[in-house]
Protein backbone atom coordinates (compact mmCIF):
# COMPACT_ATOMS: atom_id res chain seq x y z
CA UNK A 1 0.00 0.00 0.00
CA UNK A 2 1.22 3.56 -0.79
CA UNK A 3 2.54 5.53 2.13
CA UNK A 4 1.85 8.98 0.77
CA UNK A 5 -0.20 10.80 -1.81
CA UNK A 6 0.98 13.60 -4.08
CA UNK A 7 -2.19 15.55 -3.43
CA UNK A 8 -5.82 15.17 -2.40
CA UNK A 9 -9.10 15.27 -4.27
CA UNK A 10 -11.71 17.02 -2.14
CA UNK A 11 -15.32 16.23 -2.98
CA UNK A 12 -18.52 14.74 -1.66
CA UNK A 13 -18.78 12.69 -4.86
CA UNK A 14 -16.94 9.35 -4.74
CA UNK A 15 -17.65 8.73 -8.46
CA UNK A 16 -15.70 11.82 -9.48
CA UNK A 17 -12.84 10.71 -7.23
CA UNK A 18 -12.70 7.20 -8.72
CA UNK A 19 -12.60 8.61 -12.25
CA UNK A 20 -10.02 11.29 -11.33
CA UNK A 21 -7.84 8.66 -9.62
CA UNK A 22 -7.97 6.37 -12.62
CA UNK A 23 -7.03 9.26 -14.95
CA UNK A 24 -4.28 10.74 -12.73
CA UNK A 25 -2.76 7.30 -12.04
CA UNK A 26 -2.22 7.05 -15.79
CA UNK A 27 -0.17 10.30 -15.62
CA UNK A 28 1.81 9.06 -12.59
CA UNK A 29 0.10 11.36 -10.06
CA UNK A 30 -1.30 9.63 -6.98
CA UNK A 31 -4.24 11.16 -5.19
CA UNK A 32 -6.03 10.51 -1.92
CA UNK A 33 -9.67 11.28 -1.19
CA UNK A 34 -10.88 13.84 1.33
CA UNK A 35 -14.64 13.52 1.55
CA UNK A 36 -16.11 16.91 2.23
CA UNK A 37 -19.24 18.81 1.33
CA UNK A 38 -17.70 22.19 0.53
CA UNK A 39 -19.64 25.44 0.72
CA UNK A 40 -20.53 26.78 -2.74
CA UNK A 41 -21.10 30.32 -3.90
CA UNK A 42 -23.94 30.96 -6.34
CA UNK A 43 -22.41 32.08 -9.59
CA UNK A 44 -22.87 31.63 -13.33
CA UNK A 45 -19.15 30.88 -13.58
CA UNK A 46 -17.88 27.35 -12.89
CA UNK A 47 -14.41 28.88 -12.66
CA UNK A 48 -15.44 31.23 -9.82
CA UNK A 49 -17.24 28.42 -7.98
CA UNK A 50 -14.21 26.12 -8.30
CA UNK A 51 -11.76 28.83 -7.13
CA UNK A 52 -13.91 29.59 -4.09
CA UNK A 53 -14.23 25.90 -3.19
CA UNK A 54 -10.50 25.21 -3.63
CA UNK A 55 -9.34 28.13 -1.44
CA UNK A 56 -11.88 27.14 1.22
CA UNK A 57 -10.77 23.52 1.10
CA UNK A 58 -7.11 24.53 1.41
CA UNK A 59 -7.77 26.69 4.47
CA UNK A 60 -9.59 23.71 6.01
CA UNK A 61 -7.16 20.85 5.18
CA UNK A 62 -3.84 22.71 4.64
CA UNK A 63 -2.71 20.08 2.12
CA UNK A 64 -2.10 20.34 -1.65
CA UNK A 65 -5.44 19.54 -3.25
CA UNK A 66 -7.70 19.71 -6.25
CA UNK A 67 -11.41 20.24 -6.44
CA UNK A 68 -13.66 19.91 -9.47
CA UNK A 69 -16.75 21.77 -10.54
CA UNK A 70 -18.77 20.58 -13.52
CA UNK A 71 -21.73 21.53 -15.58
CA UNK A 72 -23.86 20.07 -18.34
CA UNK A 73 -24.75 22.88 -20.77
CA UNK A 74 -27.72 22.14 -23.06
CA UNK A 75 -28.07 24.31 -26.20
CA UNK A 76 -31.85 24.25 -26.44
CA UNK A 77 -32.14 25.32 -22.78
CA UNK A 78 -29.74 28.27 -23.27
CA UNK A 79 -27.02 26.46 -21.31
CA UNK A 80 -29.22 25.20 -18.46
CA UNK A 81 -28.49 23.43 -16.13
CA UNK A 82 -24.83 24.60 -16.41
CA UNK A 83 -23.61 25.74 -12.98
CA UNK A 84 -26.89 24.42 -11.51
CA UNK A 85 -26.33 20.87 -12.77
CA UNK A 86 -26.09 19.34 -9.34
CA UNK A 87 -29.33 20.96 -8.19
CA UNK A 88 -31.12 20.06 -11.42
CA UNK A 89 -30.01 16.45 -11.07
CA UNK A 90 -31.28 16.24 -7.50
CA UNK A 91 -34.62 17.85 -8.37
CA UNK A 92 -35.81 17.02 -11.91
CA UNK A 93 -33.18 14.34 -12.64
CA UNK A 94 -32.51 12.74 -16.02
CA UNK A 95 -36.21 12.19 -16.73
CA UNK A 96 -36.93 15.86 -16.09
CA UNK A 97 -34.16 16.93 -18.49
CA UNK A 98 -35.43 14.52 -21.18
CA UNK A 99 -38.96 15.91 -20.82
CA UNK A 100 -37.69 19.45 -21.52
CA UNK A 101 -36.08 18.61 -24.87
CA UNK A 102 -37.46 18.36 -28.40
CA UNK A 103 -35.34 18.40 -31.57
CA UNK A 104 -32.12 20.25 -30.75
CA UNK A 105 -30.33 17.88 -28.37
CA UNK A 106 -26.82 19.41 -28.56
CA UNK A 107 -25.04 19.70 -25.22
CA UNK A 108 -21.58 19.93 -23.70
CA UNK A 109 -20.01 18.81 -20.47
CA UNK A 110 -17.52 21.22 -18.85
CA UNK A 111 -15.12 20.40 -16.05
CA UNK A 112 -13.04 22.90 -14.10
CA UNK A 113 -10.23 21.47 -12.01
CA UNK A 114 -8.70 23.88 -9.50
CA UNK A 115 -5.44 23.10 -7.73
CA UNK A 116 -4.47 24.89 -4.53
CA UNK A 117 -1.42 24.71 -2.31
CA UNK A 118 0.54 27.29 -0.26
CA UNK A 119 1.93 28.98 -3.36
CA UNK A 120 -0.39 28.15 -6.22
CA UNK A 121 -4.00 28.56 -7.23
CA UNK A 122 -4.52 27.33 -10.80
CA UNK A 123 -7.54 26.22 -12.80
CA UNK A 124 -7.78 23.98 -15.87
CA UNK A 125 -10.81 23.36 -18.05
CA UNK A 126 -12.02 20.45 -20.13
CA UNK A 127 -14.95 20.56 -22.54
CA UNK A 128 -16.67 17.75 -24.38
CA UNK A 129 -19.37 18.27 -27.00
CA UNK A 130 -22.14 15.78 -27.48
CA UNK A 131 -25.91 15.40 -27.35
CA UNK A 132 -28.66 14.30 -25.03
CA UNK A 133 -30.15 10.87 -25.79
CA UNK A 134 -33.88 10.39 -26.28
CA UNK A 135 -34.14 7.91 -23.41
CA UNK A 136 -31.89 6.90 -20.50
CA UNK A 137 -29.41 4.25 -21.62
CA UNK A 138 -27.08 2.24 -19.39
CA UNK A 139 -26.54 2.55 -15.68
CA UNK A 140 -24.01 4.92 -14.16
CA UNK A 141 -23.96 8.01 -12.00
CA UNK A 142 -25.31 11.49 -12.73
CA UNK A 143 -26.07 12.43 -16.32
CA UNK A 144 -24.03 9.53 -17.77
CA UNK A 145 -27.15 7.64 -18.98
CA UNK A 146 -28.31 10.61 -21.12
CA UNK A 147 -25.06 12.13 -22.46
CA UNK A 148 -23.75 10.87 -25.82
CA UNK A 149 -20.28 12.23 -26.66
CA UNK A 150 -19.68 13.34 -30.27
CA UNK A 151 -18.56 10.53 -32.60
CA UNK A 152 -20.36 7.93 -30.49
CA UNK A 153 -23.74 6.24 -30.63
CA UNK A 154 -23.59 5.25 -26.99
CA UNK A 155 -24.07 7.20 -23.78
CA UNK A 156 -21.30 7.76 -21.24
CA UNK A 157 -22.99 5.04 -19.17
CA UNK A 158 -22.62 2.52 -22.01
CA UNK A 159 -19.07 3.16 -23.20
CA UNK A 160 -15.95 1.53 -21.76
CA UNK A 161 -13.50 4.37 -22.42
CA UNK A 162 -15.19 7.35 -20.71
CA UNK A 163 -12.00 8.09 -18.75
CA UNK A 164 -10.01 8.47 -21.97
CA UNK A 165 -12.22 11.18 -23.50
CA UNK A 166 -14.37 12.85 -20.85
CA UNK A 167 -14.46 16.52 -19.86
CA UNK A 168 -12.75 15.36 -16.63
CA UNK A 169 -9.97 13.63 -18.60
CA UNK A 170 -9.34 16.77 -20.68
CA UNK A 171 -9.12 19.07 -17.65
CA UNK A 172 -6.94 16.61 -15.70
CA UNK A 173 -4.63 16.15 -18.68
CA UNK A 174 -3.99 19.92 -18.75
CA UNK A 175 -3.55 19.92 -14.97
CA UNK A 176 -1.07 17.00 -15.08
CA UNK A 177 1.07 18.70 -17.71
CA UNK A 178 1.29 21.81 -15.53
CA UNK A 179 1.71 19.92 -12.22
CA UNK A 180 4.51 17.68 -13.44
CA UNK A 181 6.49 20.72 -14.68
CA UNK A 182 5.84 23.22 -11.91
P1 LIG B 1 -20.84 19.54 -9.20
O2 LIG B 1 -19.59 19.80 -9.94
O3 LIG B 1 -20.60 18.66 -8.02
O4 LIG B 1 -21.62 20.77 -8.91
O5 LIG B 1 -21.75 18.59 -10.10
C6 LIG B 1 -22.37 18.93 -11.28
C7 LIG B 1 -23.39 17.88 -11.69
O8 LIG B 1 -23.01 17.35 -12.93
C9 LIG B 1 -23.57 16.73 -10.72
O10 LIG B 1 -24.94 16.58 -10.48
C11 LIG B 1 -23.09 15.51 -11.44
O12 LIG B 1 -23.99 14.46 -11.26
C13 LIG B 1 -23.05 15.94 -12.89
N14 LIG B 1 -21.84 15.44 -13.52
C15 LIG B 1 -20.63 16.01 -13.55
N16 LIG B 1 -19.75 15.24 -14.22
C17 LIG B 1 -20.45 14.17 -14.62
C18 LIG B 1 -20.09 13.00 -15.33
O19 LIG B 1 -18.95 12.75 -15.74
N20 LIG B 1 -21.08 12.13 -15.54
C21 LIG B 1 -22.35 12.32 -15.10
N22 LIG B 1 -22.75 13.38 -14.43
C23 LIG B 1 -21.79 14.32 -14.17
Structural domains for the chain: 7-181 (3.90.950.10)
Strands 81-82 vs 31-35: parallel, antiparallel or unpaired: unpaired
DSSP bridge pairs for 11: 35
CA distance 5 to 30: 5
Per annotation, catalytic residue among 6, 25, 69, 76: 69
Instruction: Provide the whole-model pTM.
Output: 0.96
Ligand 1 mean position, distance from CA 46 (Å): 12
- What's the average model confidence in pLDDT over 10-18? 96
- What's the average model confidence in pLDDT over 64-73? 97
Nearest CA to ligand 1 atom 16: 70
> In angstroms, what CA-CA distances link 126 with 34, 50, 102, 138?
22, 13, 27, 24
Identify whether 69 is a catalytic site residue.
yes
Give the number of the atom of ligand 1 that is nearest the alpha carbon of residue 85: 7
User: For the chain, what percent of residues have pLDDT higher than 90?
Assistant: 93
- What's the average model confidence in pLDDT over 120-128? 98
Amino acid sequence: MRKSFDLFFVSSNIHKYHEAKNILDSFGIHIGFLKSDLDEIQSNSLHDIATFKATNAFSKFKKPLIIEDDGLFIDDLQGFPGPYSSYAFKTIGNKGILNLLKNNRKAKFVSIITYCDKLNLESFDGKLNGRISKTEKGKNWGYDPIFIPNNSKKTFAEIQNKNKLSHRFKALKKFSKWYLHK
